[in-house]
């Protein structure tokens, strides 16, 4: 922050705000930094830029530098797309680490992540799926890596509901296959509940006509009746999303089984492999449908 003395009239009267780069600028930045290192000329820079939504110029420089280190560790002088992709995932998801899991725990993780993956691909209006993994990172046993196709700065009701559904899908998939869920759903429930709570309490997205940001009012000043209505509306959103996910995954059970098997066999699935399987089953992502 600048010293207030510098901001007095007659000194520095103008501030310039620099936004994060959009898709076209990210492509130029990747091309610029890759131009400083040896790299495979067939690298799809546009695809790389689509994966790097919300990344700053400094982030992109670091991704290229990290990819060079990854290539060197693999005894190569030339950076490949896989090196850049792994570097980006390290920034987003953290380093992979070894963890010995029982077969059942690994299978449960595969079903859990497959539930997220299918729900995201079929129902989410803005996000592309770039990777599904059951390799532990940052304290999680698995992950589905996804990003919007382009920067999104405000979230509408459809996007928020989709976020809740994706969060709940791991729980639903576990219950479908094993009859019970695990503590692995804890963070998912937390994320889903935060979104549903904010929709009702802060954004006026409820059926009870309760408008305004109720979180700014001290709870002691809210009547029990109002709080009960707000909580009922939050639970209504939660339950409706849960029901839709249960219906979707029951309908797409063959896909759930297929992705679970693929993850158990390969541990990780990249964008192309994921797309190929969905095409095999005649599915198209909601993002592509909206774009078309």
Quote the CA–CA distance of 106 and 93 in Å, as a whole number. 19
The residues facing 145 across adjacent strands are 131
Quote the CA–CA distance of 242 and 77 in Å, as a whole number. 49
User: How far is residue 1 CA from its own chain's centroid?
Assistant: 31
Are the CB atoms for 118 and 249 separated by under 8 Å? Answer: yes
Are the CB atoms for 150 and 290 separated by under 8 Å? Answer: no
User: How far is residue 216 CA from its own chain's centroid?
Assistant: 29
* Residue 105 among the catalytic residues: no
What is each CA distance from 42 to 10, 32, 37, 155, 237, in whole angstroms? 53, 15, 14, 35, 46
> From the CB of residue 151, how many other CB atoms can be counted at a distance below 10 Å?
14
Catalytic residue among 89, 113, 174, 262: 113
Which are the catalytic amino acids? Answer: 113
């Amino acid at each position: 922050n600048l010293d207030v003395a510098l901001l007095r009239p007659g000194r520095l009267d103008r501030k310039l705000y620099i936004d994060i780069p959009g898709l076209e600028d990210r492509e130029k930045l990747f091309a610029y930094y890759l131009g400083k290192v040896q790299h495979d000329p067939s690298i799809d820079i546009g695809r790389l830029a689509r994966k790097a939504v919300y990344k700053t110029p400094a982030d992109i420089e670091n991704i290229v530098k990290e990819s060079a280190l990854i290539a060197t560790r693999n005894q190569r002088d030339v950076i490949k797309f896989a090196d850049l992709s792994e570097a980006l995932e390290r920034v987003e998801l953290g380093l992979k680490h070894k963890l010995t899991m029982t077969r059942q725990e690994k299978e449960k993780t595969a079903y859990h992540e497959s539930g997220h993956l299918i729900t995201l691909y079929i129902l989410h209006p803005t996000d592309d799926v770039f990777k599904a993994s059951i390799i532990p990172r940052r304290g999680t046993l698995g992950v589905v890596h996804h990003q919007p196709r382009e920067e999104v700065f405000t979230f509408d009701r459809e996007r928020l509901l989709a976020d809740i559904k994706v969060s709940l899908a791991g729980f639903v998939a576990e219950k479908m296959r094993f009859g019970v869920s695990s503590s692995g759903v804890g963070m998912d429930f937390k994320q889903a509940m935060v979104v549903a709570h904010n929709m009702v309490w802060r954004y006026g997205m409820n059926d009870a006509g309760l408008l305004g940001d109720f979180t700014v009012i001290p709870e002691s000043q809210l009547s029990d009746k109002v709080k009960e209505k707000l909580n009922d509306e939050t639970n209504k959103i939660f339950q409706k999303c849960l029901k839709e996910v249960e219906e979707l995954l029951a309908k797409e059970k063959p896909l759930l089984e297929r992705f679970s098997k693929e993850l158990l066999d390969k541990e990780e699935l990249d964008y192309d492999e994921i797309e190929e399987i969905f095409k095999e089953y005649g599915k198209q992502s909601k993002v592509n449908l909206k774009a078309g």
